[in-house]
Amino acid sequence: MKPLTEPEIRAAFVNCTKGEASRLNVPRDLAEQPWEDLDFLGWRDPQAPDRAYLAAVIDGRTVAVALRSSGAASWQARRSLCSLCVTTHTGGVSLLVAARAGKAGKQGNSVGAYMCSDLACSLYVRGKKEVGTKLHESLTLEEKIGRTIANLAAFLAKVTA
Ligand SMILES: [Zn+2]
């Protein structure tokens, strides 16, 4: 993906207030992110471990969402599957919940999905980050990347619907 700047990321949040988007922790090392290997930028808030964020460019538009872990019980010890990149982890998948954008979110509606806890899906797909168990799949790397982007776009569509 194309490198994003901090102002671009802050302006792209769809499911929190402008004030929250201006205060939340954006990675300080944006210049060092492996952008060419990323389908989206995902990060955890170092000061609030139950919070995570992701930013992606979907159809030319930058979209960022704030996510929350749904609680300690979601850190499953058993093997779990990331719904974005379809990587299997032992204990490395979290149920992350996004408030829906706009009115629906204000009414308390949210969308949840199991995701790699460190949001490094792009690196798992490319084999740049290793996991214990690998699914045997006949898909090419391009197909896996396409699937991850499609899964992410579907999730973001539910958040912004
Ligand atoms: Zn993943």
Is 101 a residue whose pLDDT tops 60?
yes
CA distances from 31 to 26, 99, 100, 125 (A): 12, 29, 30, 22
How far apart CA 91 and CA 72 sit, in angstroms, is 12
pLDDT value of position 132: 67
Structure tokens given for 89: 């982890």
Residues with a beta carbon under 5 angstroms from ion ligand 1: 82, 84-85, 87, 116, 121
How far apart CA 105 and CA 131 sit, in angstroms, is 34
For residue 48, give the nearest of 68, 70, 74 by alpha carbon: 68
Residue 87 C-alpha to ligand 1 middle, in angstroms?
6
For residue 26, give the nearest of 9, 12, 50 by alpha carbon: 9
Segment 32-45 shows an average pLDDT of 97
Ramachandran category for residue 3: left, alpha or beta (phi over 0 → left; psi -120 to 50 → alpha):
beta
For residue 160, give the nearest of 96, 119, 111, 90 by alpha carbon: 111
Mean residue pLDDT across the chain: 91
pLDDT value of position 74: 46
Segment 110-114 shows an average pLDDT of 94
Residue 61 C-alpha to ligand 1 middle, in angstroms?
22
Give pLDDT tens digits for 141-160.
Answer: 999 999 999 999 999 999 99
Residue 59 C-alpha to ligand 1 middle, in angstroms?
21
Report residue 89's pLDDT band, with 50, 70 and 90 as the boundaries.
confident
Give pLDDT tens digits for 54-67.
Answer: 999 999 999 999 99
Residue 81 C-alpha to ligand 1 middle, in angstroms?
8
Is 78 a residue whose pLDDT tops 80?
no
